[in-house]
Structure 1
């Protein structure tokens, strides 16, 4: 099984990137490709820019990455209760290629934050909207208080209960 994994954050110090990296070790029967959405940076989406630029190469490449995968894992960072601007822009451009951005792939959606909310707002929005974009969400999990429940150096979940939940969520991809 080929799994595409990424954090919906452009931050180089993203704790969601750390969570993705640490989570991938539990997919022992899979080939996991972790991508950085910074590699798909584009101008801010607008219909005017779309008319001028067409479908940028980066959006096409991102759509192809999803299409080539058997499953997708996303860890969402939360900015002001919603998606990061970097992820939303990438998603907006890609959805203009095909509204079925997730191409019926099984998905696990994760989120973490430094605080007790665990980025639950963005995670709920992502999980609830995914079916409209042909996402087959098998599981979603919020990891609250990252620095209390994870190793701040590696992103590994250290809270035994949350680790069991993470492993259970990832097992849903099989």
Structure 2
């Protein structure tokens, strides 16, 4: 059997974003896999643009990556009590593609944020937004990385054993869902 294909989606575009770091750690804890990073540098959704030009190639690539993935991990920052506009835009665009790329795909959701709640409200919002797509959303353990600016060692690993254990348990559950 080949290695599972793991798609990583960061709700932050910044190269050094803590959500990207959290995804890197999640991929390590997931274990052997073909890891693919999604690119959310997409044009803003505009129905007139879609009507005139169709689905942009970058959006179709993202939808194809989702459809081809055995498992997906989404990590979102929390901006003003919700998910980032970048992530919402990507979800809106993918919803316009043919087929149902998210259907039955095992999806783990996590968040990293500077505040004490670690992006809990953004994660709740993201879970709500995912429901119409029909993925297999894993519900536990919840990973809300608080104080994310100081949560990583220089080697990129989580500095808290408690957070590392939670991410590890979530990735174990995701791997099991992806390979059954």
Scaled to the shorter chain, the TM-score interval is: 0.7 to 0.9
Structure 1: 5+ residue stretches without partners: none
Hey, what does 2:163 align to over in structure 1?
A: 162
Structure 2: 5+ residue stretches without partners: none
> How far did 1:85 drift?
1.6
TM-score, normalised to structure 1's length? 0.88
CA distance in 2, matches of 1:80, 1:155: 27
> How far did 1:10 drift?
1.5
Partner residue of 2:143 out of 127, 141, 144: 141
| Alpha carbons 1:15, 1:155 under 8 Å: kept | no
Range with greater deviation from structure 2 (154-163 or 74-83): 154-163
- Which structure dedicates a bigger proportion of its chain to strand? 1
| Alpha carbons 1:5, 1:74 under 8 Å: kept | yes
Hey, what does 1:48 align to over in structure 2?
A: 48
Hey, what does 2:27 align to over in structure 1?
A: 24
> How far did 1:98 drift?
4.4
The within-5 A match list for 1:7-156 is 7-38=10-41, 41-42=42-43, 44-98=44-98, 100-139=100-139, 140-151=142-153, 153-156=154-157
Report the RMSD for the aligned CA atoms in angstroms.
1.8
TM-score, normalised to structure 2's length? 0.85
| Alpha carbons 1:66, 1:103 under 8 Å: kept | no
| Alpha carbons 2:39, 2:62 under 8 Å: kept | no
**Count, aligned residues:** 170
Q: Cα distance 1:14–1:99, how it changes in 2: closer, same or farther (>3 A)?
A: farther
Hey, what does 1:172 align to over in structure 2?
A: 173
Range with greater deviation from structure 2 (57-66 or 120-129): 120-129
